[in-house]
Amino acid sequence: MHSYGLVIHAGAAAILRKDLSPELQAEHQAKLSEALDAGYAVLDSGGEAIDAVVAAIRVLEDSPLYNAGKGAVLNAGGVCELDASIMDGKAQAAGAVAGLQHIKNPITLARDVMQKSAHVMLAGEGAEKFARELGYELVPNEYFQTPLRKKQLEKAKEIEAAGGGHTAIRDAEGRISFVTIDDHADPERHKWG
């Protein structure tokens, strides 16, 4: 039998230990551990890597702590737009979805694009039409939106209206690419994904 296991992430950020309360750190620890255990249970029972990936990611998508599924950040129009992808290393099959607004677990639809369509990526309304054909129940966009993310969008727009200043993220050529704010008031603390 081959050795097995999984590794997860829930975002990288310019965030320091002092920026998170002990209570919030404990919440993150518990949710990350829950995601690991969900994926590991699939592997330990002889399940496939692709199913372990979906199991672990669904836990994180369902948590308002992370920028995926419930708790996703808001776009400039005040709407959550979700992207996901998945890849199977054996067949090098892949599936991806972009710009979803009503799919509760985008990773599940990405897997269905891989396994149940002839395509690799579906975007926007087309992706959601595909989901409806598969019997997915669509959720209102409000399901994803949290008060914290709304506050972050307001802050981002204030900064943008003020000309961006030092909170605008510039690329290597000095162009302002976007303005983004992490889970706290300090505008120096950007969210990187």
Site string for another protein, 140-169 (x = CB under 8 A): ----x----x--xx--xx--x--------x
Between residues 81 and 136, which has the closer beta carbon with respect to another protein? 81
Secondary structure (DSSP) of 30-67: HHHHHHHHHHHHHHHTT--HHHHHHHHHHHHHTSTTSS
Q: Is 124 left (phi over 0), alpha (psi -120 to 50) or beta?
A: left
In whole angstroms, give the CA distance from residue 95 to residue 156.
Answer: 32
Query: 124 to 143, contacts with another protein by CB under 8 A?
Result: none
Q: How far is it between the farthest Cα atoms of the chain?
A: 60
Give the count of residues interacting with another protein (CB under 8 A).
96
Query: 3-state class of 65 per DSSP?
Result: coil
Q: Give yes or no for residue 98 binding another protein (CB under 8 A).
A: yes
Q: Which of residues 19-58 bind another protein (CB under 8 A)?
A: 20, 25, 28-29, 32-33, 35-37, 39-40, 43-44, 46-50, 52-54, 56-57
Cβ-based nearer residue to another protein, 135 or 161: 161
